Chain A
Amino acid sequence: MASPLDQFVIKPIIPLGKIGASEIAFTNSSLFMMFVVGAIGLFFMAATSQRALVPGRMQAFAEMLYEFVANTLKSAAGKEGMQFFPLVFSLFLFVLTANFMGMIPGAFTVTSHIIVTFALAMLVFLTVIGVGFAKHGTHFLGLFVPGGAPAALVPFLVVIEVISFLSRPISLGMRLFANMLAGHIALKVFAGFVVSLGALGIGGILGATLPLGMIVALTALEFLVAFLQAYVFTILTCVYLNDALHPGH
């Protein structure tokens, strides 16, 4: 029986050469990144081509996504946060589409690789630091000094704040990666039970209905997780961007 981890194996499709010890290739992961961006691109191209006053179904859905992300961003980072809208919207669409595309049987889940989620988290983290220093200069460091704390405690608090700030990209990337990975592993493990039990004859087939029901339930849960993790990633991005715009407690 195949390992539940096989679905995460990266396979080169078109080898392109090497950079140092790293092999560069167009892989199954790259292919699904292309599918994700292609699907988003095609959908939004079609949905926004009319620019109708009274939207059709696709345009209404595109507007719904837009307003969902725009409201999340505005409520977390205020009106000025809208300058980051393209970044936040791209992140939301990319993660959401990648998560959902991973739910297609046999598909590769781009967001189940920590390097991808961590890279997206670092993108947010570096944007926050870059914009924070560009906008506020050294005042941005006020983010690490909690207001109203006793002077004796300030050094400890600053250390804690710095650690919590630096752990943000790790937790942001890890959360999405772990959720997608664990969900897909769980699905494959139960699917493996079905196959193993099914091979044991009539009693085994009856027994296999239990893990099969579990797969059905887990699939529903995974669809929820796919959306929820995209949303969590987005809202945390908005919260972190708020720090770049309004540092200081």
Chain B
Amino acid sequence: MATPQKTGTEVPGSGYAGPGFPPFKTETFASQLLWLAIFFGLLYWLVSTVFAPRLTEVIEGRASRIAKDLEEAASAKVKAEAAGAAYETSLAEARAKAQAIAQARRDEVNAASEARRKSLENDLAARLTAAETQIADTKTRAMANVEGIAAEAASAIVQRLGGSAPSRGDLDAALKAALKA
């Protein structure tokens, strides 16, 4: 490989590169400790003053933001539920009102039509009675005419058969007796 050193054949040099197990060479310790202190110190300083506070800020900020958002969502849900309930009640109220209005209107219409029906019936009844009296009048008048016609017809028949016209009084008596039978 690239490194020129061979096991067991190294020339004992000054400092670090001499023979022996590298991690146990005490002459390298001071230098390693110095640089470890410098670089680990730098890392610790960076972590404690920059990285850890930044990450804490981000993670805690996110946690509180999520908690706040959840809280907001919960309150919004409560509000939405309240609004839903209010809507339901107002809907029920409106429905009841609409039904009341419809009922009132229906009653009104019913009453009006009832009244018209009644007046129409009265009118018809009156006209019926008038017609009935007229019929009765006509009938009595017709009956009176029937008597006259019967008397004339009877007197004409008697004149033809007997040769002479019967007297008015006989005729009436005979007609009355016949009509009564």
Contacts and interface: CB of A to CB of B under 8 A. Distances in A.
Contacts of A181: 23
A23 B30 CA distance: 8
Contacts of A45: 50
Contacts of A112: 23
Contacts of A34: 35, 39
B123 interface: no
Interface stretch (B51-59, B128-136, B137-145, B161-169): B51-59
A9 interface: yes
Nearest to A192: B1
A26 B6 contact: no
Contacts of A55: 58
A217 to B, nearest CB: 22
Given A37-B42, A86-B44, A89-B47, A5 B32 contact: no
**Most chain B CB within a 10 A radius of its CB, from A67, A90, A119:** A90
Contact of B52 (A22, A29, A33, A89): A89
A208 B40 CA distance: 41
Contacts, number: 157
Contacts of A8: 22-23
B5 A3 contact: yes
Contacts of B57: 51
Interface residues of A, number: 57
Contacts of B5: 2-3, 6, 9
Contacts of A2: 1-3, 5-6
A166 B52 CA distance: 31
A36 B30 contact: no
A6 B3 contact: yes
B7 A36 contact: no
Interface in A145-200: 177, 181, 195
Contact of A27 (B7, B16, B51): B16
**Most chain B CB within a 10 A radius of its CB, from A24, A52, A67, A86:** A86
Interface of A is mostly: helix
A236 interface: no
B151 to A, nearest CB: 128
A116 interface: yes
A108 to B, nearest CB: 11
A10 B30 CA distance: 12
Contacts of A9: 3, 5, 16-17, 22
B55 A62 contact: yes
B58 to A, nearest CB: 5
B178 interface: no
Given A33-B39, A87-B44, A115 B1 contact: no
Given A29-B32, A37-B39, A53-B61, A44 B51 contact: yes
A123 B40 CA distance: 11
Given A11-B17, A26-B35, A115 B28 contact: yes
Nearest to B9: A3
Given A23-B15, A23-B31, A94 B40 contact: yes
Contacts of B30: 19-20, 22-24
B173 interface: no
B23 A33 contact: no
B46 interface: yes
Interface of B: 1-3, 5-7, 14-17, 21-25, 27-37, 39-40, 42-44, 46-48, 50-52, 54-55, 57-59, 61-62, 65
Given A52-B58, A90-B44, 16 more contacts: A12-B15, A22-B30, A23-B28, A29-B32, A30-B32, A33-B35, A33-B36, A34-B35, A40-B43, A62-B55, A86-B48, A90-B43, A93-B47, A115-B28, A115-B32, A123-B40
17 contacts: A10-B16, A10-B25, A22-B29, A23-B27, A24-B34, A29-B35, A41-B46, A44-B47, A45-B50, A53-B62, A55-B58, A90-B43, A94-B40, A114-B23, A115-B28, A116-B32, A116-B36
